[in-house]
Amino acid sequence: MRNPITAVLMGVMLLVVVGNVSAQIAGSTTPGMSVEELQTIARGWSATKQILGKPVYNAKNEKVGDVDDLIIAPDSASSYAIIGVGGFLGLGERQVAVPANHLKHTEGRIVLPDATKEALQAMPSFQYAK
């Protein structure tokens, strides 16, 4: 009689333990982020796939530069696109910083709506901190 009671108690304890364990699916949860936040991020821009090295156009569909880099400010409150402007085949090109929120992704292109080559070339050159 003792063995069946022990078996039943062990079975109940096993059910309680297994019932309290829930499986996590890889990629569905991250500390500090909800599944909804991850889904929103997944719909965002990929710097390496959709931004870096890509040409930048203005609203008139004129190429005004190329995205050379993305910089996130130390306080993470703002980010900047480093745009290479001027020059030919990399010679004479210089870089300027433009707030990343000014860039638009339109019809598969990166657009800086009100930009002109002249306006970007007139901006101060961006220099990386040493």
Give the model's pLDDT for residue 88.
74
**Helix count and strand count (H, E) for the chain:** 3, 6
Alpha-carbon distance of 115 to 129, in angstroms, equals: 26
Q: Identify the three-state secondary structure at position 44.
A: coil
Which pTM does this prediction carry?
0.65
Strand partners, 71: 80
pLDDT at 26: 55
State the distance between the two ends of the chain, measured CA to CA, in whole angstroms: 80
Instruction: Note the pLDDT of residue 83.
Output: 96
Q: What are the chain's domains?
A: 46-122 (2.30.30.240)
User: Which pLDDT value is given to residue 63?
Assistant: 95
Please give the helix or strand (H or E) that residue 110 lies within, else none.
strand 109-111
pLDDT of residue 18: 46
Which regions in the chain score pLDDT beneath 50? 1-2, 6-8, 12-22, 30
